[in-house]
Amino acid sequence: MKPWHVGLILIMVALVSTQVFMAVLSEEEQQRLGNEQTLNSKLSELQKSLEEKNNSFEDFKKTDQVLLNQKLEADLKDIKVGYSGLIGTYEHLVDLRGEKKIYAKVDTMFALALNQLSENNYASAAATIKGLEDEIKKEQEKRALAAAAAVPVATGNSGATGTVKTESGEFRTNIISADLRSVKVVVDTASPSDCADNCPVLPLATFAQRSGAFAAINGPYFCPASYPACASKKNSFDTLMMNKNKTYFNSGNNVYSSVPAAIFSTNSRFVRQSSEWGRDTGIDSVIAGQPLLVFNGQSMFAGDGDPKKSGKGTRAFIGATDSTVYIGLVYNVTVAEMANVIVSKGIKNAINLDSGGSIAMWNNGRYVAGPGRDLPFGIMLVRR
């Protein structure tokens, strides 16, 4: 082979190698370019996403969180106030049932308030509820005056009606007194033991008749089945009480109770807090209720902001001076005014009982007030 043949072959090999190399390089370049395009595409997507996030963040930063929180807090407060006000008003409506004319009027206002709350018109709902409460208050005062004017004469053991003058005005009363050395104060309960919901209830007259009582009065507060707030604890009560069978009610949840209590045997004792009393069954009854009206001859209640206590109406109490017990009603009075009436009567100690639709007093075989709603318990005066 001639030398120039070898050179030609080498040149051809070099050309082929270069083409192969360029082909390989082209393939790698294409792959690189493809990868770069993919990366650029993903980078573009990420950039777009980041811009969207940045825009959202900028919008978020422009939102005044303090104002936002204040608005949420205000809305929640409006809802709570509106709901609480409407529930309280409904409970007053329950006590006014039976007077068709007034009930038809306030029922319409109640429905309007519900509708306004459902549409988030809190200010309008508050105004409607205020007007509704004013109408109810007028009706309550009208009824209280009518009840005071029609106070029957109590003919039982030392029963007496009369008028008591205090710094707040003159008030009609109907009070029955008895000597604890010859009369027992006992509590009759519809349930034989603790009851948390759907508790049995009876008319006061039934309690009085089956207990052989010559006089009786409704007991402390309980949760009426007709109240919305009592839906899961209908006709229950949570204060300390010992009934005529020496059974203590709500003993476990009143170990540290601050609710005042009255203890009766042949004498009387009042304690500022139920926690001060043990579980002695050697006495006739234990009745816890609030507020404490009179203690050692001094008025103990001037008001606590509760509209149920500051409204005028017929109110009930149980009190004692040493071995003399008193059960009674005071008409057209607030709870604070009743405390002053009791002091003026010279009664040494007294606690408040339920009022409104629960008011009932029984004397010598007949109602002298009520009957109100059926009750889970009643306070009886029974001869020893």
Residue ranges covered by each domain of the chain: 65-146, 152-383
Token digits for 131? 């007007």
End-to-end CA distance of the chain: 151
What is the token pair recorded at 199? 């508790």
- What is the token pair recorded at 181? 């050395």
- pLDDT-based confidence at 132, cuts 50/70/90? confident
Check whether 250 has a pLDDT greater than 70. yes
pTM (2 decimals)?
Answer: 0.69
Q: How far apart are CA 17 and CA 324, in angstroms?
A: 128
Question: Is pLDDT at 283 greater than 70 in this prediction?
Answer: yes
Predicted confidence at residue 184, as pLDDT, reads 97
Instruction: Give 6's pLDDT tier (boundaries 50, 70, 90).
Output: very low
Q: Which residues pair with 170 in a beta bridge?
A: 165
Average pLDDT over residues 329-357: 95
Helix (H, G, I), strand (E, B) or coil at 114: helix
Residue 215 carries which side chain, given as an amino acid letter? Answer: A
Q: Residue 192: what pLDDT?
A: 96
Cβ–Cβ < 8 Å for 336, 301: yes
Instruction: List the single range of 47-56, 68-77, 128-137, 166-175 with lowest mean pLDDT.
Output: 47-56
Q: What is the pLDDT of residue 113?
A: 77
Q: What is the mean pLDDT of residues 68-80?
A: 68
Tell me the average pLDDT across 235-263: 95
Beta-carbon contacts of 204 under 8 Å, excluding residues fewer than 6 positions away, are 216, 217, 218, 360, 361, 362, 367, 370, 371, 372, 375, 378
Binned at pLDDT 50, 70 and 90, residue 10 comes out as: very low
Kindly indicate the confidence band of residue 98, based on its pLDDT and cuts at 50, 70 and 90.
Answer: very low
What three-state secondary structure class fits 43?
helix
User: What is the spatial distance between Cα 360 and Cα 374, in angstroms, rounded to a whole number?
Assistant: 10
- Read out DSSP for 177-236? EEETTTEEEEEEESSSS---SS---B-HHHHHHHHT-SEEEE-S--B-TTSGGGTTSTTB
The reported pLDDT for the residue numbered 46 is 53
